Homo-oligomer: A and B are copies of this chain.
Amino acid sequence: MMKTYLLTPGPTPIPESVNAVLSQPIIHHRTPGFRKIFQEVEAGLKSIFQTEKDVLILTCSGTGAMTAAVANLFNPGDQIITINAGKFGERWTQIAQAYGLRPVEIKIENGKTLALPVLKQAIQAHPGAKAILFQASETSTGTQLPTQEICTAARQASMLSVCDAITALGVFDLPMDRWDIDVLITGSQKAFMIPPGLAMLALSDRAWEAVEKATLPRYYFDFRKERKALLKSETAWTPAISLVVALQESLRLMREEGLQNVFKRHDRLARATRAAVQALGLELFSEAPSTAVTAVRVPGTIADGKLIPKTMRDTFGAVIAGGQDELEGKIFRLSHFGYCGDFDITTGISALELTLGKLGHPVRFGTGVGAALQILAEENR
């Protein structure tokens, strides 16, 4: 038997009480019982989104919600600005192309974050662009983007801000209404600590105006149908019922901890992880490390960087993420959000130390864990 530990940026581990809910008998979704659950879930989502707006619940992955946002907001030929700081930013561009828009892409070197003058230049050069589409946390490179500043710039230019916060919402502070975020998108298998299958998103009044005017074809993902269904505390189509019921429980856990405490916990775990890998002499990949996931550059001593996640998983049972696409073998990524506590960090770093040792990288065992513990000890819990 090898005991396994899930340390990936989605799916994230599922709390025991949520797993218990998932094994309950299924209920029907057009019943007073389900509507009551749905109402509680809606209220919980609004508090995490920090919004007064409706939060739509779609049965799909995060990419489904990104696609839905494009299909609902725009018209063929519309110009938009996409910020590509990695694989998920690139996805905005690809979706926009698939739907016949004219994306202007700001391409950022992997591991770098957005410099605001670059955005302002793009806005000036393309004053007719309808929206700026970006990630709050670019998971592929472990980079956090300046969401508030991007939204402010969008607002000043009368553009919509469309924020993929799939690995950001519930991880760190993203107050939708206060920061004037027009579209805020997230997914179930991230900070919400339930299995994949649901995406949740909310729209500002300005975004709803665009939805009403948009002409791209949509049916399953039609936000107008979802908003209409919300009036009856329902979804337009049969939802992933068991996941909605699980979400009720995970939102209860988040409420119990308190949203600000959730953010503090994630920040603390992120800093402990960064301290640990740096104490091991490794280099952070991102110049603006995300609170959700720490990307680490593979050291030069290890020729085949893909062996790091593979050895961690196959030899030590710790499932982490490698690099994707052109970053495969060049970085690995340690996640620290969702149902994650101090000893998930020490587990991940312990497995990393053993892995580095096994792969011939010089390690004094305990150096990384010690540095993590130092941060964890300093902080009031």
Which single member of B59, B71, B189, B195 contacts A196 (CB below 8 Å)?
A: B59
Residues of B within 8 A of A67 (CB): 219-221
Whole-angstrom distance between the alpha carbons of A23 and B243 in the complex?
Answer: 12
Additional 9 contacts, C-beta under 8 A, given A6-B25, A61-B239, A99-B217: A6-B27, A13-B26, A22-B242, A23-B23, A63-B220, A63-B236, A95-B219, A196-B242, A197-B241
Question: Footprint of B on A, CB under 8 Å?
Answer: 6, 8, 10-11, 13-14, 19-20, 22-29, 31, 59-64, 66-68, 70-71, 94-95, 98-100, 187, 189, 195-197, 216-222, 236-243, 313, 319
Q: How many copies does the complex hold?
A: 2
Compute how far the CA of A219 lies from the CA of B23 in the bound complex, rounded to whole angstroms. Answer: 33
**B residues in contact with A13, CB < 8 Å:** 25-26
Do residues B64 and A237 form an inter-chain contact, with CB atoms below 8 A?
yes
A20 to B19, CA, bound (A): 10
Task: Given A11-B28, A25-B19, A195-B241, check contact A220 B319 (CB 8 Å).
Answer: no
Q: Are B24 and A19 in contact (CB under 8 A)?
A: yes
CA distance A164 to B217 in the complex (A): 21
Which of B28, B70, B71, B313 contacts A6, CB < 8 Å? B28
Q: Which residues of B contact A14 (CB under 8 A)?
A: 25-26
**B residues in contact with A59, CB < 8 Å:** 59-61, 64, 196-197
Report A288 CB to chain B, min CB distance, Å: 25
Q: Which residues of B lie under 8 Å from residue A24 when comparing CB positions?
A: 19
| A11 and B23 contact, Cβ closer than 8 Å, known pairs A217-B216, A240-B240, A243-B197 | no
Task: Determine which residue in A6, A187, A195, A218 has the highest number of CB atoms from chain B within 10 A of its CB, and name it.
Answer: A195
Residues on B with C-beta less than 8 A from A29 are: 11, 196
Q: Which residues of B contact A27 (CB under 8 A)?
A: 6, 11
Contacts of A95 in B (CB 8 A): 219
Judging by beta carbons under 8 Å apart, are A60 and B220 in contact?
yes
CB-CB under 8 A from A197, the residues of chain B are 59, 197, 239-243
On whether the beta carbons of B99 and A219 are closer than 8 Å, the reply is yes
- Report the bound CA distance from A94 to B243 in whole Å: 28
The residue among A31, A62, A197, A239 with the most chain B CB atoms within 10 A of its own CB is A197
